[in-house]
Amino acid sequence: MYDIKELTEDIYQIAEQQSFIKTLSDKSTKINPNLYAIYLYNQLLCYSEVEKYGLENSLFRTTIGLPRAEHIHYDFKALWTGDSNPTTLPSTVNYIKHIQTIKEEPEKLYAHIYVRHLRDMIEGQLDMKNTPGPNRYYKFKHGEIKEYKRIVTETINSYINVYQINVLNEAKVAYATITLLYQEMDIITGNKDFKWTR
């Protein structure tokens, strides 16, 4: 029996080693609200695409409270002070194009739900102690986190034991995209000439 967590541990660790992770979780500093809003906006676009096709393929039928796009949008609107939306980062543009190529393949889409939704649901409980805004992105009803973790893990492992290469490759794409987003956010963070409200 294959286990998705074991098979993706190396690429997960690469994502977790990015500097922007510390920006999100470091209690000694407060992240700039507009910087965080740029991150949220790009997450919103990615989540919206995955959830659009995930819903079309009935992938949330046993986890109806798991979709996050609506909540991410709420958090973004509460923080962003610009007159127009932030720039869509290159990793986001490429990710959306990729999701459109697998929109009718449930096992591939579920790899992205596993990487994005499960990961952010669990690790977000720590991030929201340091991130600004209402943080609806990371808030779940009592008992949902434990139950959704079980359901998503069981579902992705059932997929990977039938479609190993397909599912594993998609998980790698998801982690690679998140890693690139963190790197792009690091560039913005270090750009002293960046206009937060452009």
Architecture of the domain spanning 4-190: Up-down Bundle (1.20)
Return all residues near 16 (Cβ < 8 A) that are at least 6 apart. none
More confident of the two residues 184 and 5: 184
Contact 140, 196 (CB under 8 A): no
Separation between Cα atoms, residue 76 and residue 52, nearest integer Å: 19
Q: Could you identify the residue written with the tokens 């720039």?
A: 87
pLDDT tens, residue by residue, 33-91: 999 999 999 999 999 999 999 999 999 999 999 999 999 999 999 999 999 999 999 99
Separation between Cα atoms, residue 25 and residue 29, nearest integer Å: 9
Residue 158's pLDDT band (boundaries 50, 70, 90)?
Answer: very high
Return all residues near 12 (Cβ < 8 A) that are at least 6 apart. 119, 175
pLDDT tens, residue by residue, 30-47: 889 999 999 999 999 999
pLDDT tens, residue by residue, 123-137: 888 888 889 999 999
pLDDT value at residue 3: 83
The pTM score is 0.93
Helix ranges (H only) for the chain are: 4-7, 9-16, 19-25, 33-56, 69-79, 90-101, 106-113, 119-127, 144-160, 164-190
First to last CA, the chain: 50
Side-chain half-sphere exposure of 107, counting CA atoms within 13 A: 14
What value does the mean pLDDT take over residues 138-160? 95
pLDDT tens, residue by residue, 97-107: 999 999 999 99
Sketch the domain layout of the chain as residue ranges: 4-190
